[in-house]
Amino acid sequence: MGDVLIKCPVCGARNRLTPAQPGRKVVCGKCKTPLPATGPLVVSDGSFAQDVEESPIPVLLDLWAEWCGPCHMLAPIVEQLSVELAGSLRVAKLNIDENPGTAARFGVRSIPTLLVLRNGTEVDRLVGVQPKQEILRRLEAVLGT
C-alpha cells in the first residue's frame, strides 16, 4: 500500500502516512499530536466501553465471525474505510462468537452487521454485504461530510 492521507483529530491538518515503519511513532506534522492507528481496532466485550462508548469520534463497528463467508467478503472494505476515514471515524471489529454479550446487547441476528455508533449509541445499522459507496453514503449523515 502506498501513502495515505489522514486528518488530525485535533488541528485538522492533513498528514501523509507512509507505510508503517517499526518503532516509529506517527504524529501530526503540524501540532505533533499522536495520530490514530490505521486499520480496524479489534474490540471485545471487555474493551467495548473504553474503545467504543468513550470514543471521541463516531465508530463503525463490524460484527463478524470467522466461519462467515460474507464477513470475509466485507473485510477488505472495512479495512479500506479504516484507513481512508482515520481521524474522523474509528473503525472497529468484534467477533461475535468470542464476544456474545455485545452482539446480544445490540440484538444482532445476522452477520455481517455494521453498526454506526456515536457515544456508544447506535445511529445507523447496515446488515449484509454492502458496497463501499453505500456504506460511505450512510456515513456521510453521521460525519457531516
Q: How many other CB atoms sit within 10 Å of the CB of residue 26?
A: 16
The C-alpha atoms of residue 10 and residue 1 are separated, in whole angstroms, by 26
Instruction: Measure CA of the first residue to CA of the last residue in the chain; give whole Å.
Output: 25
Q: Could you say which of 8, 11, 31, 71 is catalytic?
A: 71
Residue 59 in contact with residue 89, Cβ under 8 Å?
A: yes
With residue 113 as reference, give the H or E element that holds it: strand 113-118
The C-alpha atoms of residue 108 and residue 110 are separated, in whole angstroms, by 6
| Residue 71 annotated to the active site | yes
Active site positions, annotated: 68, 71
